[in-house]
Amino acid sequence: VRSKGGVVEAGRGYPLIEDRIQGEILRYVRVVDRSVARSELTEALGVSRSKISLAVGRLLEAGLLVEDGLAESEGGRRSSLLRIPRAAGLIAAVDLGATSIDVALSTLGSELVAHRGEPADVKEGPKAVLGRVKDLLSELLEEQGASRHDVRAIGVGVPGPVEQASGLLRSPPIMPGWDRFPIRDAFAGEYAAPVFVDNDVNVMALGEHWGGVGKGVDNLLFIKIGTGVGGGIIADRSLYRGTQGCAGDIGHICVDPDGPVCSCGNRGCLEAMAAAPAIALKAERCARDGVSPRLSGVLEERGELSAKDVGEAASVGDYHALEIIRESGRLVGQALATLVSILNPSLIVIGGGVANIGHSLLAEIRSTVYRRSLPLATRNLPIVLSELDQIAGVTGASVLAAEGVLQTTRVG
Amino acid sequence: VRSKGGVVEAGRGYPLIEDRIQGEILRYVRVVDRSVARSELTEALGVSRSKISLAVGRLLEAGLLVEDGLAESEGGRRSSLLRIPRAAGLIAAVDLGATSIDVALSTLGSELVAHRGEPADVKEGPKAVLGRVKDLLSELLEEQGASRHDVRAIGVGVPGPVEQASGLLRSPPIMPGWDRFPIRDAFAGEYAAPVFVDNDVNVMALGEHWGGVGKGVDNLLFIKIGTGVGGGIIADRSLYRGTQGCAGDIGHICVDPDGPVCSCGNRGCLEAMAAAPAIALKAERCARDGVSPRLSGVLEERGELSAKDVGEAASVGDYHALEIIRESGRLVGQALATLVSILNPSLIVIGGGVANIGHSLLAEIRSTVYRRSLPLATRNLPIVLSELDQIAGVTGASVLAAEGVLQTTRVG
């Protein structure tokens, strides 16, 4: 296996498909998520009956489709239904967070079959973190009685901006040592499968759109609030990445021109004022000022405070903790109102570690967005918590990889 | 001709096309803007040779394509090239501004063949304004030796939010009397062509993307600064409208929480602080305060000041006029920095009446955007003035109508 132009070169069974129509067939069957008749494919893809028959024949030979029961009669002889079998192969899905690793295996239909998550520190650098990722993948494969050769594509979400053309991280602020690290190549020695890399929030948006609360929604915003703040945009049913792949990077929207200086050099960025570190910092200030005995107690006991501590304090009625959470909600809501004016989505999904800090966060986000946006844009605009939560990332990484490999007919 | 579900019902020659493939062929030939061989269509659309031949045959019969020269030999016999003839029909394109009407005729390939613009007041209401539009259209048709029957589709841009499903204006703030007015029906008595309505800024974005500085650009933002401020979004080569059709409605982004109250009820909206009326208001204040003798002079002479007066004062070195323009530029730039973070476009086009107020506006927008946005997103981000300017709207209205009618195979 050699690497060329950033994409792993042909190994066993790669490229998976031979032409565009084969890819379209498999992508269609993936999405409808049931067995499909040839006639439905002809209709849905607007391709001639004979081309569909030819392509289906090749996919059956390759084991990427199997016949599965008979279609309803349409007057003529009954034709068999088609579906993607489990034996068609696996997708390896990886979700790197600032403080966590999640690894999963899924079918080619992006149904998770195994998942494992553990705490990690992305600051340990690519070698250590990706080494651990590969160990976890090996364990999962072994448990499933599968091997590296069964992996047809690898999807990776990372907590930083990814340049789409190269698949490289570009100056990721919270990932020292990862700038321009060739993540794709890290798998090349062991896996003969193509590797698709994208920003973690884009990947979570894909996951929630594929299998969560955003299923079937055309225009969706996924907002992650954790160590950073970011957004993933589904526009007209597709992930919108922008020109350099950094669309949705809302952490550096200015919410207060007089606010604190952010790591990016500007003042009052949303991330610097509302994400987990800002919440912890405000809590430490309260604890030191002695206005919140509860926060002071935790700080004294442990020497530091986390966003989670603030959530717990708020849940037992600590007024200052509640105010800190509400302020984050208000700031996120303020930026979201702008996003709503620009993108006019029909659903906003809030995820990430801070999302579950307490209901007052969501309540404050909602009331700020509804107050600040134009009535037409918010008439039918639910703002909800992520449904997939911990598995939104790996689900989306699987979707990224499956969609990617089914659009790749040539290598290089 | 009857109206049903908002779309004009079949008149002579409508629907224009019989099926999806015919529409795809014509849309492809439109976009490449040259004569095309059948083999190129087969390749580009991924449809079988026989289907292409059948569809092309029908389009030749209908006069929507003609044969035009021979293709380069590919070993076999040379096939003829195809193009859309002028006789295939005309598109009527209408661009309504708050203070202007522009009407044009174009080919099905969205090449303008006649254009007329005049001042108007949209506040006179739909009956008076659309009556004038229809008079201008009749004049243009007569000049071209054409009739209403030659019009294959009508595109209309309006300065307010348009609900896509119904084609109706929804509570347009600067268009009293137009709320929910059935614009499509206003043409139904005279034209047997379908009418496509969209927001004026969306239409200008389409125009600039089709035939202006944005040609060939995948991700483009068009910003109109005039009586209002609005944005049109081209994302992955298509106009992005959002769920209710109000994506890009950036006039009500908050740029100063302590700013003046806007017509929408919120404080410090971009439109209330940076558009033409705000510029005129600030100038009047300067004139009354006596700090700018030049502005005072114009106010005294005419009893009011316009944004244009401010531009002229600035051009002869009036410091206060220049400061007013710079402030508008800074505020627009501030909102644009947010848009850039969210959408990561590769080109920003500035148009509308205020765009030409003076170079200091564009200079201030540029420096604010480049200062406030993340380096990755602004690395290759030209911010330029609209190239089509006065005809951006009618060009886009033609594109809207042509694309629309070539996607409509059934009526109702």
Strand residue runs (E) in B120-275: 151-158, 162-163, 168-169, 195-199, 220-225, 229-235, 238-240
Partner-chain residue, chosen from A21, A252, A374, that has the shortest CB–CB distance to B246: A374
CA pair distance A341, B95, nearest whole angstrom: 23
| Residues linked to residue A66 through DSSP beta bridges, in sequence order | A83
Under 8 Å between Cβ of A302 and A283: no
pLDDT of residue A5: 33
Nearest residue to A183 via CA among A173, A169, A163: A169
- In B, residues 230-259, which contact A (CB 8 Å cutoff)? 231, 233, 235-236, 238, 240-250, 252-254
Q: For chain A, say whether B315 makes contact (Cβ under 8 Å).
A: no
pLDDT of residue A267: 87
B400 to each of B25, B151, B245, B406, how far by Cα in Å? 17, 14, 14, 10
pLDDT of residue B75: 64
Each residue's pLDDT, cut to its tens digit, for chain A (412 residues) gives 333 333 333 344 567 888 888 999 999 999 988 899 999 999 888 888 888 999 999 999 999 999 988 877 666 667 789 999 989 999 999 999 988 999 999 999 999 999 999 999 999 999 999 999 999 999 999 999 999 999 999 999 998 888 887 888 887 777 888 988 999 999 988 998 999 999 999 999 999 999 999 998 999 999 999 988 999 999 999 999 998 888 998 998 888 888 888 887 888 999 999 999 999 999 999 999 999 999 999 999 999 999 999 999 998 889 999 999 999 999 999 999 999 989 999 999 999 989 989 888 999 999 999 887 777 677 778 999 999 989 999 999 999 999 999 987 654 3
pLDDT of residue B73: 63
Residues in chain A, overall count: 412
B266 interaction partners in chain A (CB closer than 8 Å): 371-372
A46 interaction partners in chain B (CB closer than 8 Å): 20-21, 47
| A215: helix, strand or coil | coil
Q: For chain A, say whether B265 makes contact (Cβ under 8 Å).
A: no
CA pair distance A212, A220, nearest whole angstrom: 12
CB contact under 8 A, A245 and B344: yes
Q: For chain A, say whether B228 makes contact (Cβ under 8 Å).
A: no
Partner-chain residue, chosen from B21, B249, B376, that has the shortest CB–CB distance to A341: B249
| A39: helix, strand or coil | helix
Q: CB B341: neighbour CB atoms within 10 A? A: 29
| Structure tokens belonging to residue B34 | 């040259």
- In B, residues 53-112, which contact A (CB 8 Å cutoff)? none
Under 8 Å between Cβ of A114 and A102: no
A21 interaction partners in chain B (CB closer than 8 Å): 46
A243 interaction partners in chain B (CB closer than 8 Å): 218-219, 344-346, 377, 380
- In B, residues 351-370, which contact A (CB 8 Å cutoff)? none
Q: For chain A, say whether B52 makes contact (Cβ under 8 Å).
A: no
Nearest CA in chain B to A376: B244
| Structure tokens belonging to residue A406 | 């089914």
DSSP A232-255: EEEETTEEE--SSS-TT-GGG-BS
Four-point Cα dihedral A16, A19, A23, A29, nearest 10: -110
Give, as one character, the DSSP assignment of residue B78: P
Contact residues for B134 (Cβ-Cβ < 8 A; gap 6+): B186, B187, B190
| B66: helix, strand or coil | strand
| Structure tokens belonging to residue B385 | 């003035």
pLDDT of residue A410: 56
Q: For chain A, say whether B216 makes contact (Cβ under 8 Å).
A: no
A242: left (phi over 0), alpha (psi -120 to 50) or beta: left
Nearest residue to B170 via CA among A321, A374, A373, A72: A374
CA pair distance B2, B35, nearest whole angstrom: 37
Strands B36-37 and B80-83: antiparallel
pLDDT of residue B14: 66
Four-point Cα dihedral A170, B339, A95, A355, nearest 10: 140
CB contact under 8 A, B376 and A244: yes
Q: Which amino acid is at B128?
A: A
Under 8 Å between Cβ of B37 and B44: no
| Structure tokens belonging to residue A281 | 């910092």
Q: For chain B, say whether A380 makes contact (Cβ under 8 Å).
A: yes
Q: For chain A, say whether B376 makes contact (Cβ under 8 Å).
A: yes
Each residue's pLDDT, cut to its tens digit, for chain B (412 residues) gives 333 333 333 344 567 888 888 999 999 999 988 899 999 999 888 888 888 999 999 999 999 999 988 877 666 667 789 999 989 999 999 999 988 999 999 999 999 999 999 999 999 999 999 999 999 999 999 999 999 999 999 999 998 888 887 888 887 777 888 988 999 999 988 998 999 999 999 999 999 999 999 998 999 999 999 988 999 999 999 999 998 888 998 998 888 888 888 887 888 999 999 999 999 999 999 999 999 999 999 999 999 999 999 999 998 889 999 999 999 999 999 999 999 989 999 999 999 989 989 889 999 999 999 887 777 677 778 999 999 989 999 999 999 999 999 987 654 3
Partner-chain residue, chosen from A47, A161, A219, that has the shortest CB–CB distance to B243: A219
